[in-house]
Amino acid sequence: MRSVSNRQDAESAANALACCRRLLVIGCPGAGKSKLADELARCLELPLIHLDDIYWRADGTPMPCGHWDRRVTELLAPAAWILDGNYIRTLSPRLRRADGVVFLDYPRRTCLCGAFTRNWKSRRRERWPWWDLPLLARIWSFARTDRPRVVECLNEVPVGCTVLRLASRREGAVLLGQLKSLR
């Protein structure tokens, strides 16, 4: 797993990402996966799929597990894509198909602020209210519960898969700046 802690690291990481055709953006809720994935899709000119838009139905209920598993398999079939979203239960098959992963490994406070900011800006309170206690609990416990499972999965990615770990929004901005400079 490669970090992007300085300009040289970011330049190397951007060059590696520029070769990717199937890219996952994963991390804690509120980290900004969708926003980063939007920017990556523009820079890399790859089709973007937000997993939240598929998993959650219009009435706010999740897709049943069997349907979700089949849908994820369908989403992985094309030769090029960016998929953003964690969904740990289906992470392994997505990692097996990906040739690049960006892991937003941000501090809890960053993710909590991101969740509140997203809600405030989008005003989609009916879908993601600021008082959504299960969501806040997932963010609060992510480092203890989900992160170890994500790291375990990342340690088993196929040879040749580029795995980047971003530890801050600044690192993400530096990486995007390097990607834009390659165009």
- Residue pLDDT, tens place only, 21-48: 999 999 999 999 999 999 999 999 999 9
Report whether pLDDT(91) > 90: yes
Alpha helices in 25-183 (DSSP H): 33-44, 51-55, 65-76, 91-97, 108-122, 133-141, 146-154, 169-181
- CA torsion 30-149-155-49 (nearest 10°) is -40
Segments forming the whole domain that contains residue 162: 2-181
pLDDT class for 49, splitting at 50, 70, 90?
Answer: very high
User: How many beta carbons lie within 10 A of that of residue 94, not counting itself?
Assistant: 21
Report the percent of the chain where pLDDT is more than 70: 93
Q: How many domains does the chain have?
A: 1
pTM of the model: 0.91
What's the CATH code of the domain at 83?
3.40.50.300
C-alpha dihedral sign at 164, 167, 169, 174: negative
* pLDDT for the residue numbered 132: 73
Q: What angle do CA 140, 71, 127 make, to 5 degrees?
A: 45
* pLDDT for the residue numbered 122: 60
Residues 32, 180: Cα–Cα separation, whole Å: 19
Report whether pLDDT(20) > 90: yes
* pLDDT for the residue numbered 131: 60
Say which amino acid occupies 6: N
Largest Cα span, the chain: 46
Among residues 174, 183, 169, the alpha carbon closest in space to that of 35 is found at 169
Q: pLDDT digit string (tens) for 105-149?
A: 999 999 999 888 776 666 554 555 556 788 889 999 999 999 999
* pLDDT for the residue numbered 121: 61
Report the percent of the chain where pLDDT is more than 90: 74
Q: What is the mean pLDDT of the chain?
A: 90
